[in-house]
């Protein structure tokens, strides 16, 4: 799981330091669709996440602090998070919401398989890259 987390942080570093043009929460419709698709992908794993808009706000703070400092610990502290109960994941799947859901569901499922932590809540933020691509970030809260 540390490999996936390090990949997400490396992706975040590259995206934020070189190509980020804007950052913010996503629309309520998109959040609902994405959460539904993630839950479809997680079917049979014993995991089901519910969307929590409060996590969006925490995630935007996390991204801003991490982008400016490169320090994950400082970003977690600034957003009121701890690594025991939260994780940040990213998807660069630009083709469909279904592709993004598959990537995020895979990361959530891998977390359960490696650490035993079960995701309960999820929030989102997105970034528009200079090259026109998008990154969807997910903040997951574990039970």
Q: What is the mean pLDDT of residues 1-28?
A: 50
DSSP output for 65-105: HHHHH--HHHHHHHTT--TTTEEEEEE---S-HHHHHHHHH
CB 142 within 8 A of CB 87: yes
What pLDDT does residue 29 have? 80
What pLDDT does residue 94 have? 65
> CA 35 to CA 42: how far, in whole Å?
10
**Phi, psi values for residue 116, rounded to 5°:** 85, 0
Which pTM was predicted?
Answer: 0.81
Q: Which residue has the tokens 């490696």?
A: 114
Closest CA to 75 of 30, 12, 130: 12
What pLDDT does residue 131 have? 76
What pLDDT does residue 143 have? 86
Tens-place pLDDT, residues 72-114: 999 999 999 999 999 999 998 666 889 999 999 999 999 999 9
What pLDDT does residue 58 have? 96
Tell me how far apart the terminal alpha carbons of the chain are, to the nearest angstrom. Answer: 17
Tens-place pLDDT, residues 24-69: 445 668 899 999 999 999 999 999 999 999 999 999 999 999 989 9
Give the dihedral sign, CA 22/25/30/36: positive
């Amino acid at each position: 799981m540390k490999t996936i987390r390090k990949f997400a942080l490396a992706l975040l570093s590259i995206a934020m330091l070189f190509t980020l043009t804007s950052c913010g929460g996503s629309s309520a419709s998109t959040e609902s669709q994405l959460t539904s698709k993630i839950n479809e992908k997680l079917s049979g794993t014993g995991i089901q996440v519910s969307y929590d808009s409060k996590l969006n706000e925490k995630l935007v703070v996390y991204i801003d602090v991490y982008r400016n400092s490169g320090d994950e610990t400082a970003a977690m502290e600034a957003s009121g998070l701890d690594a025991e109960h939260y994780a940040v994941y990213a998807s660069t799947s630009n083709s469909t919401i279904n592709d993004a859901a598959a990537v995020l569901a895979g990361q959530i499922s891998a977390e359960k398989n490696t650490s035993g932590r079960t995701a309960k809540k999820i929030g989102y933020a997105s970034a528009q890259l200079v090259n026109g691509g998008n990154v969807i970030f997910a903040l997951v809260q574990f039970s």
